[in-house]
Structure 1
């Protein structure tokens, strides 16, 4: 066990230290504010404060973990032997940066509490993020910092005990539109047909008619093909279905459609099925409760996992709603159109509510890739080159590689054969 001496034990410090030591590194820790207890301790120990006590392992603390609320922070990103970091800790410090404060800044999504202009669907824009601006979005920096800290501790304490974790891979299929043409109802089918005719989209007109006449399969209906692919590999897979009323942002099949209901129940026989929330339920707790309840009643299993529409994680409100509606895990932490790590990590972590200064029970599973981040690539080799780099980073820190694909894009041939690409990703990255 590692003993940490500090001048004050705060919720922020406890949260961050437990994430770094216990969840990423597998090191048991405890805290003390008593100098005599620290001196008496014969095992591995370190000080996290403004000044060292003697010549012990010491990290000079930034004020961030001892503050409350949101304040203006001066952040200067520097290079730490090839890895960007910030909150330099000075010459006396055993490691050159306060990795606890830097990690808290990213994990808590501190920057998303600061004033910013949201995008067209109400999201925090990736270009506003520190990671994007300083070109470390594709690095799981929190994990990299943690392992550098471990190396420094092992140098001082060769007998330091820790439990190694293993690399994990999860494939998520996000279903917000289960069918392009089928099960849409007469009014929506005719409306779509006349709209395509009016816009001279004759290819779509023919495709729609062919599907409705049973001459070809609906392009979005690839669920059983996906199930067969998943059976070939020992991987964790999840299907997130939207189960909501039609709206301007939510255009899925009606949850009352019997064929749609049968589809969801069938998929639930082979894979974890959970809720992809509607645009409205992301901000309306009562609607969210109802969607959760209806889907649970359909598959006769509790719904514990969520994915927010458009990955619209507005902290802290969106996650508070999930906590209050008794979701245990969320898989929305990432950027739809950029590859990388929105919270700077590839290890699941709990949501820390800065306004309430408490760690909430909701576990956040960050994803590295959403398929829409790849739509502008024209060649598979370019995609592999990019994703191989990300995979190697996640593998290096024994993190979780989570990727999100939609049945819509998998049914498309836009520039790439998406289903073929999806299969190749699983083969390349599942171990």
Structure 2
């Protein structure tokens, strides 16, 4: 066990130290404000305070972990060898910055509580983040810091038995539209025929017709592929279903549709099922509750996993609403227009509510890359997209973290703008299993 001496034990301090040591480095940690207890401890120990007690492993503390509320914090970037860092603390410290305050700043999403310019969907955009501005968005920086810190800890305490965590992979699938043509009703399909005809999309016109008369499978019905790959490669898979009412942004088949409901039930027999709350649930707790109840009635089991449609996430409001509904896991932590690590970590972490100064029971799973980011926003061809996904995977593997991808069922259709993308998903899944 690692013992930490500090002049004051706060909720922020215990939160970030447990994330840093217990969940990332697999080292049990405890705290003391008693000097004699610290001196008597025979195992690994560090001092986290303003001044060292002697010549021990010492990190000079920044004020952030001893404050309350959200303040205008000055962030100036520097470097720890070849790794970016901030909250520099001078030469007396074993390392040149407060690694714990900096980790807390990133994990708590402190910057998302400060004033920012939101995008057209009222989201916190990547371009407003510290990680984007200083070029470390594609790095799980907190985990990199932790393992770099571990090397120093091993030098100081070589006799301690350090555990090593294993690399983990989670494939997540969002179902925004379960079918491209089937079960959409006469009016929607008639409008689709007209649009395809006058847009000279003859292939789509013919495909729609063939699907509707039963001579061809609906291109978005790729769930057999998803389940087969999950089973073959023993990949943890979570499928998030959109079952909100029809709006401009929510265009799925109705949740009352018997075919759709049957499909959700059957998929739930093989992989985990989660809720994909509709566009307007970000600010509407009642709508969120209604949709959760709908899904629970379909799968006959409590819904514990969620990811916001359009990744519309407003802190702390959206997370508080999820907590009130007993959602245990959120998978919305990522950006639509950019790949990378929104919270600068590839380790699941608990949401810390800065207003109430408490660690909540909601566990946050940050995905690293989304298919539509690479295809629609960055215009990557499949080969380039696969290369980028593998680069991000390798970053996570270096720190034995959890690599999470976000694909859609329609991505595997090889239909229209998704031609060639089925192979991207297949190759990514297969290569992760091999290595």
CA distance in 2 between counterparts of 1:204 and 1:260 reads 23
1:234 maps onto 2:244 in alignment: no
1:418 counterpart residue number = 421
TM-score by length of 2: 0.95
CA distance in 2 between counterparts of 1:337 and 1:182 reads 30
What are structure 2's unaligned runs of at least 5 residues? Answer: none
CA distance in 2 between counterparts of 1:378 and 1:315 reads 31
SS across alignment from 1:280: helix
CA distance in 2 between counterparts of 1:131 and 1:374 reads 19
1:29 counterpart residue number = 29
User: 1:134-155 deviations in whole A, cap 9, x for unaligned?
Assistant: 1101110100101111111111
2:209 counterpart residue number = 209
2:396 counterpart residue number = 394
CA distance in 1 between counterparts of 2:412 and 2:123 reads 24
TM-score by length of 1: 0.96
1:160 maps onto 2:163 in alignment: no
Moved more, 196-205 or 216-225: 196-205
CA distance in 1 between counterparts of 2:28 and 2:170 reads 27
Q: CA deviation at 1:387?
A: 2.4
CA distance in 1 between counterparts of 2:303 and 2:382 reads 36
Q: Are 2:239 and 2:271, in contact at CA under 8 Å, matched by a contact in 1?
A: yes
Q: CA deviation at 1:232?
A: 1.3
1:98 counterpart residue number = 98
CA distance in 1 between counterparts of 2:259 and 2:44 reads 60
2:128 counterpart residue number = 128
CA distance in 2 between counterparts of 1:123 and 1:209 reads 38
Q: Are 1:173 and 1:240, in contact at CA under 8 Å, matched by a contact in 2?
A: yes
Q: Are 1:138 and 1:340, in contact at CA under 8 Å, matched by a contact in 2?
A: yes
User: 1:360-395 deviations in whole A, cap 9, x for unaligned?
Assistant: 100001111111121145444433432222212111
Q: Are 1:378 and 1:416, in contact at CA under 8 Å, matched by a contact in 2?
A: no
CA distance in 2 between counterparts of 1:67 and 1:225 reads 50
1:429 maps onto 2:435 in alignment: no
User: 1:321-347 deviations in whole A, cap 9, x for unaligned?
Assistant: 110011000111111232210000000
What are structure 1's unaligned runs of at least 5 residues? Answer: none
Q: CA deviation at 1:415?
A: 6.6
SS across alignment from 2:71: coil
RMSD: 1.6
1:182 maps onto 2:182 in alignment: yes
User: 1:225-272 deviations in whole A, cap 9, x for unaligned?
Assistant: 221222210110111111121112111000111111111111112211
1:323 counterpart residue number = 323
Moved more, 17-26 or 40-49: 40-49
SS across alignment from 2:221: coil
